[in-house]
Amino acid sequence: MPTDESDFSERGPKAPVTSLPEALELLKLVRDRIGFAEASRETVAEALGHTSLNGTSKRKIAALSHFDLISRSGGGAYRISDLGR
Amino acid sequence: MPTDSGEHSQAIAEAAMRPSMYAKLFARYDGHVLPLMLPNVLAREFKVLPQSSEQVAQNFRESAEFAGLLRNGILSSQPELTQLTGDASPVPKITADRSDDMNLASDSSARPRIQISAADERTKAFVLPLDNQGRIAEVVLPLPLSSRDIRKLKAWVDYMSSVVEETPGEISAN
């Protein structure tokens, strides 16, 4: 299993924990429940069906970031990226 | 935001190449057959945790196939032209009747620069680079291939040679 929230690699390039079609399913949940507004990581986790921010939800959010489907602002909030639209 | 299916396909392809590891895999295998031992390559050269390398390889294959960037086992950084333009026949596709007096796999002398994909047990896909601008031709042949099939293919190539006019930087068919 992955050692951290974002990838399968110890020190190499990063890889998402889901495939692209799976990530697009996750993106649809975010779009349907949050839209294109900025949201905290906790809110995104809830949109993905998790009651709290845990390892699984963090990895899913990271996968969305890997594919550039969501982006993170300087303040730490997330929003659907231009590519994700 | 994509406005048509072509832009949508392009956006999907871009997303598929965004993860840093995927970008490196595309850079390395663009135009080539994705190795069956990809999990081992990921573990040894990309520092993927050995227990996760199968999953990473599977995710990558699924992502590339979904984006139209893995066709007949060959990875391409360009999505399939049919998805971008609606062109039903973007590259030459050759088919021939099946026969059994020659196995294509044993004949490798005539195509030293051609990429070969073992797509499945019944067909083999070839990618022929046409120039250094990235133009390629893809040929999918049934296996086994007979000498009669080869003669048919040669006749087709000869016919194409007779009808194609070559001009600098451009090839057009009459």
Its ipTM equals 0.86
Considering the domain architecture, whether residues B11 and B61 belong to the same structural domain is answered as yes
Considering the domain architecture, whether residues B22 and B80 belong to the same structural domain is answered as yes
Q: Which amino acid is residue B159, in one-letter code?
A: Y
Is residue B26 predicted with pLDDT exceeding 90?
A: yes
Please give the residue range of the domain that contains residue B151: 104-173
Residue B96 lies in a domain: no
Nearest to A13 among B11, B46, B67 (CB): B46
Is residue B168 predicted with pLDDT exceeding 60?
A: no
Check residue B162 and report its DSSP letter: H
Considering the domain architecture, whether residues B34 and B68 belong to the same structural domain is answered as yes
Whole-angstrom distance, CA of residue B123 vs CA of residue B117: 9
Any idea where the domains of chain A sit in the sequence?
20-80
Is residue B73 predicted with pLDDT exceeding 80?
A: yes
Question: Which residue shows structure tokens 């069956």?
Answer: B36
- What SS3 state is found at A64? helix
Per-residue pLDDT band at A10 (split at 50, 70, 90): low
pTM of the complete model: 0.62
Q: Output the pLDDT for position B110.
A: 41
Per-residue pLDDT band at B79 (split at 50, 70, 90): confident
- What backbone torsions phi and psi does residue A71 show, to the nearest 5 degrees? -130, 160
Whole-angstrom distance, CA of residue B26 vs CA of residue A66: 15
Among B35, B58, B85, the domain boundary falls at B85
Q: Do A82 and B1 touch (CB under 8 A)?
A: yes
Strands B123-129 and B115-117: antiparallel
Q: Do A15 and B19 touch (CB under 8 A)?
A: yes
Q: Output the pLDDT for position B130.
A: 75
Q: What does CATH list as the number for A20-80?
A: 1.10.10.10
Q: A83 — contact with chain B (CB < 8 Å)?
A: yes
Residue B99 lies in a domain: no
Is residue B56 predicted with pLDDT exceeding 90?
A: yes
| Residue of B32, B163, B95, A12 whose CA lies nearest to B171 | B163
Q: What is the CA radius of gyration of chain A?
A: 12
Per-residue pLDDT band at B115 (split at 50, 70, 90): low
Among B51, B85, B119, the domain boundary falls at B85
Considering the domain architecture, whether residues B55 and B15 belong to the same structural domain is answered as yes
Locate A6 and state its tokens. Answer: 């974002």
Per-residue pLDDT band at B132 (split at 50, 70, 90): low
How many distinct structural domains can be found in chain B? 2
Whole-angstrom distance, CA of residue B51 vs CA of residue B30: 26
Q: Output the pLDDT for position B71.
A: 86
| Residue of B116, B137, B23, B15 whose CA lies nearest to B73 | B116
Per-residue pLDDT band at A5 (split at 50, 70, 90): very low
Q: Which amino acid is residue B64, in one-letter code?
A: A
Q: Do B19 and A14 touch (CB under 8 A)?
A: yes
Q: Which amino acid is residue B13, in one-letter code?
A: A
Residues of chain B contacting residue A3, judged by C-beta atoms under 8 Å apart: 49
Q: To the nearest whole number, what is the mean pLDDT of chain B? A: 73
Considering the domain architecture, whether residues B13 and B66 belong to the same structural domain is answered as yes
What count of Cα atoms within 13 Å lies in the side-chain half-sphere of residue B101? 6
Does residue B111 or residue A80 have the better pLDDT?
Answer: A80
pLDDT, mean of residues A44-51? 94
Is residue B4 predicted with pLDDT exceeding 80?
A: no
